[in-house]
Amino acid sequence: MSKQWFVVGISGATCSGKSTLADKIRDTFPTSITLRQDDFFLLPDDRRHVKIQELNHINWELITSLDMQKMYSDVIKILESPGRNATASKMLLILDGFLLFKHKPIADLCDCKYFLTLTKEQCWERRKNRIYEPLDVPGYFDKIVWPEYVKYKNEVVRNNEMCKTITFIDGSKDMVEIYEGVSNEISHVLS
């Protein structure tokens, strides 16, 4: 596979600013492409979903609610394709996803990994005003969203090999500050 590509992975809490950061980076680097994990959710009627009986709702916070093989296949297609700008020394692929590093083959492709964190209160303040399709049902955040995030973050932190390769960022910081730090790191690596 060509090392013409530099892969940035952005993961972390729901509503922590992952997509905003990914978009800002994409807008800064003209030779970049963004791929979002959210675009790989299974359809609501897919039989592979895990249903939460108590809430009569699908658990959308599990890696099994996503077609990760399709995402991985799409990432590989991009990495094997010639860049859009043959004169650029490196093309930038930005991967954005709330469970991105849970899929080891994709995590292993990331040259830089960022994990945005929030406290439960900060996360709820941001999430409660978001409109999801399907809508969050009452109790979904407390019973499912937050515990699944904590479990994922703990898995990442306990995986010493992976944890050493990740930059953890407080997602409650000013986005301009977050973006400038990440953008400077990427620029430094690409130069």
**CA-to-CA separations, 51 to 4, 101, 134, 152, in angstroms, rounded:** 42, 23, 13, 19
Contact of 167 with 114, CB cutoff 8 Å: yes
Which amino acid does the sequence have at 89? Answer: S
Which amino acid does the sequence have at 67? Answer: D
First and final CA of the chain: distance in angstroms?
21
45 is catalytic: no
Which residue in the list 27, 38, 46, 170 is annotated as catalytic? 38
**Long-range pairs of 175-179 with CB within 8 A, sequence gap ≥ 24:** 175/17, 175/20, 175/21, 175/24, 178/17, 178/21, 178/116, 179/21, 179/24, 179/25
- Interaxial angle between packed helices 146-158 and 120-127, expressed in degrees from 0 to 180 and rounded to the nearest 10: 130
Active site residues: 38
